[in-house]
Amino acid sequence: MRALEYVATVTAKAGGRTLPLGGVALPNRRLVLRWLRRQALRLADAHGRYLPPAAPWLGARDVRPVAFHGSDAPEALRAWAGDHGSQDHAMSALESGHPALLTVVDPFVGLSVTLGGWPVDLCGWVAEASVNHAVRPRTEGE
Taking every pair of Cα atoms in the chain, the longest distance, rounded to a whole number of angstroms, is 49
Could you tell me the end-to-end alpha-carbon distance of the chain, in angstroms, rounded to an integer?
47
Looking at per-residue confidence, does 60 or 105 come out higher?
105
Are the C-beta atoms of 62 and 94 separated by less than 8 Å?
no
**Predicted pLDDT of residue 133:** 36
- Quick one: what percent of the chain has pLDDT higher than 90? 55
Under DSSP, is residue 32 helix (H, G, I), strand (E, B) or coil? helix
Looking at per-residue confidence, does 4 or 121 come out higher?
121
**Predicted pLDDT of residue 73:** 93
**Length of the chain (residues):** 142
Mean pLDDT, all residues of the chain:
79
Q: 85-114 pLDDT, tens per residue?
A: 999 999 999 999 999 999 999 988 889 999
Report whether pLDDT(61) > 60: yes
Domain residue extents for the chain:
6-135
